[in-house]
Homo-oligomer: A and B are copies of this chain.
Amino acid sequence: MKVSQKGLYALQALMMLARHYHQGAIKIREVAYEEDLPEKFLELILLELKNARIVESVRGAKGGYQLRRPPAEIFLSEIIRLIDGPLAPFGDADSLRELIDRDSNHRSLYMVFLQVRDAAAKILDSTSLADLLHESDTHGSGAKKRSRKKKEGSVLPMVVHGSKAPYES
């Protein structure tokens, strides 16, 4: 699974709209300015998000975009699937299950791919825009413990930064 530049822009734009969730329609230009995104490109992205019913638009003067659902009900998996496709590292979950059933010589390889996709799905299906906001509007200095009520399902608070993964990249 790869998140493209476009996918990142989409996530940033949605986080911005989530921050301003109470404030009615936000102009493309404001989103682009606040998140430093190319305006014309952002336009296409928001259109796509609109067609997917994640945001809605108000046309004409005083128009703009807003989320169609509360930030706590918009999950990263949904956005990433929309913009960048399946979460699986190869093909998609269905085709992998097909291959696991049919291609006996490479079954175990495809099973590993499916495991990887399931691990990604578990994280991305349980992280919402709201989860991201609650973590990140504390700007800069890393307070080690915040007494934030731990939301059910969010996996974010468990992150320990200095984890030192085995290899790199």
Contacts and interface: CB of A to CB of B under 8 A. Distances in A.
Interface of A: 1-3, 7-8, 11-12, 15, 76-77, 80-81, 85-90, 92-94, 97, 100, 104-109, 111-125, 127, 131-136, 138-140, 155-156, 159, 161, 163, 165-169
Main secondary structure of the interface of A (DSSP, over half): helix
Nearest to A5: B90
Q: This chain: how many copies in the complex? A: 2
Contacts of A8: 90
A135 B111 CA distance: 10
Contact of A116 (B88, B124, B135): B124
A125 B89 contact: no
Contact of A112 (B132, B140, B163): B132
